[in-house]
Chain A
Amino acid sequence: MATKRLGFIVRSLPYKTEASRLAMTHAIASQTVEIYLEDGDMVEPVVCFIGDGVLNCLKSQQAMKHYGITSLEQHVKNGLLLDLKIMICKEDIEKLGIKEDSLIMDAEDIGGETKAQIVPYSEIQKEMDSVDHLLFC
């Protein structure tokens, strides 16, 4: 019985490439991974948004209106609904002039109980040190 922790470090802008969306969908796929694993084994993803990647966490995204696709906002909420650990870099949101109330911090409207965390980069660095595998997106 073992748990492997996978750290998805999202640096990519939303909608410019598929990378940030793929990071979220891969992390969310951890909910079904046990079909390939032995009993008791599991993977636990952690998603950290750093650099330009913090823009994936903005509220009120209009992806459906402009592109006809689900938004990264919905993916972040789905992640929180599934109790994924989601961390957002404090220094990077400050650099971009983003306030906490502009960010998706919870998924209460769809029944989620887990909250996103705004943390200094040093905390994200600790997370990166602690995971078994790092996946930069």
Chain B
Amino acid sequence: MGKLTIGCFASLVGSVSLDFAVKLSDAAVKKGHKVDLWVSGNATMLSKKGQKAFKDYSHLAKTLTELFATGNFQATACEACAEARGYHKDDTMEGWKRHSMDWYLASCFSADRVLHIGGD
């Protein structure tokens, strides 16, 4: 089994890039792989707690909670990108880490494959 590192820059709502990243993470973990998900830029919104499910938009928080429970999934938000958007450690969903960008590069170091998804 391998380790997949996924970086995503895209926003929570407004593109399907984050949906794809989370679904791909889910599929990889179900196959027995480990996944590190890194979000920076607008994608840091994925780590915001208190997300409400609307039928008009995809809802990723539930999948993330299930992924954290597997023990084979880590997700980390760029601390600076989150702070710049006005949400702080107390606003972050349980299970998420917050680090600077070097965490992502370190995750890339030990990954078998790296995917960089979205940039809008």
Give chain A's interface residues, CB within 8 Å of chain B.
2, 4, 6, 12, 17-19, 22, 25-26, 29-33, 35-37, 41, 43, 45, 133-137
Contacts and interface: CB of A to CB of B under 8 A. Distances in A.
Contacts of A17: 119-120
Interface in B63-95: none
Main secondary structure of the interface of B (DSSP, over half): mixed
A35 B104 CA distance: 12
For the complex of A and B, 9 pairs with smallest distance between CB atoms: A19-B119, A36-B106, A29-B101, A133-B114, A33-B102, A135-B116, A29-B102, A18-B41, A33-B105
B100 interface: yes
Contacts of A29: 100-102, 104-105
Interface of B: 7, 9, 40-42, 100-106, 108-109, 111, 113-114, 116, 119-120
Nearest to A9: B116
Contact of B105 (A6, A12, A18, A136): A6
B106 A37 contact: yes
Contacts of B41: 18-19, 22
